[in-house]
Structure 1
């Protein structure tokens, strides 16, 4: 199957596979975020424009990576939340795998000693 161009419309299934978000979640986001309005055709088939896909990526990043709530993302997208701040303070910095393994071993030793 040939790769679609960046300007091509995408079905909800293609967006779901590309972003890694289930289709029912995308439909839910459409109800939560008025900015997300894919074109609908006969049979209620959704077609996402490139700007819709970009918005889905942004929403996904804010919700699933940066830890925002749906209400927080709604405020950001509507402009009521001001400028997009850096990741919330609850975000945990990524640690190298070796460091994480060392911490796990240290905790396991502490539990064994208790």
Structure 2
């Protein structure tokens, strides 16, 4: 009998089988989630083999928690993830606007 494989490093890529086993869900559920959550995009290699990066693993664990522990629906999780992503764009535009104001004020002070 072969020795068990050593545990993977925290930053290592995970296969769909490894991740499914870790979270206790079948692989087809992870494939379904990929169709429902555009944020979840694992790397795909030859033969459509999926490799989940650490950020993908964290997102899968979060989706699983929201659905199974916190009682969210698929649509509820979609809305939550979309809402979390949207403010970042607004904050960036605010930062850009404030940077422009700062530059105008700096120019005005230099001229006076």
Q: Give the TM-score of the pair, scaled to structure 2.
A: 0.70
Pair member with larger Rg: 2
Cα RMSD (Å): 1.9
SS in 2 for 1:67: coil
After TM superposition, which residue ranges in structure 1, 4 or more long, deviate above 2 angstroms?
none
Q: Could you list the runs of 5+ residues in structure 1 that have no partner in the other structure?
A: 83-114
More helix by share: 2
Which residue of structure 2 lines up, in the alignment, with residue 79 of structure 1?
Answer: 83
Segments of 5+ residues of structure 2 without an aligned counterpart are: 87-112
**How far has the Cα of 1:13 moved from its partner?**
0.1
Matched residue SS, 1:14: helix
Q: How many residues align?
A: 83
TM-score for the superposition, normalised by structure 1: 0.69
Work out the CA distance in 2 between the residues paired with 1:42 and 1:69.
Answer: 33
Matches within 5 A, 1:1-114: 1-79=5-83
Shift in Å, 1:21? 1.1
SS of equivalent to 1:2: coil
